[in-house]
Amino acid sequence: MRQPPAFLMLSTLAGLALLAGCSSPRPYASPVWQPQGGACSAGPAQTVVGQQATASVMEQARQRSGALMARILRPGQAVTKEFDAERLNLEVDAQGRIVAVRCG
């Protein structure tokens, strides 16, 4: 049975759209790259490890990671355990210094 031309056109466009989303990697090393916010990638935000967890440092890390949101996790603090691919977590020590950066 032959498919209608509209179905074939939509199928082709959907396939091309999926391929286009996977075709170009994010240029993490480029200083002019500005993440739009979305899926978190902790690698580019690792530069803040060792710094004091100020609002400006947290925002810098969030932007570098591409995350929509960020939070600071203090020692012994109760936190939700659900994974959120759009959230950056900055773990700090008792003095407020960032010791780990991860997504979730």
- pLDDT tens digit string along 57-88? 999 999 999 999 999 999 999 988 899 999 99
> Does residue 54 fall inside a structural domain?
yes
23 token code pair: 């075709």
> Does residue 11 fall inside a structural domain?
no
**What residue numbers bound the domain in which 63 lies?**
36-104
> Does residue 56 fall inside a structural domain?
yes
What is the CATH number for 53? 3.30.10.10
Across 36-54, average pLDDT: 90
> Does residue 14 fall inside a structural domain?
no
Most confident region among 17-21, 35-39, 93-97 by mean pLDDT:
93-97
Single-letter amino acid, residue 26: R
5 token code pair: 């031309």
Query: What's 2's DSSP letter?
Result: P
- Give the pLDDT of residue 48: 97
For residue 37, what pLDDT band results from cuts at 50, 70 and 90?
low
For 87, other C-beta atoms within 10 Å of its C-beta total 19
- Give the pLDDT of residue 38: 73
Instruction: Pick the closest to residue 26 from 82, 78, 65 (CA basis).
Output: 65
- Give the pLDDT of residue 32: 42
pLDDT in tens, 10-35: 666 666 565 555 544 444 443 444 44
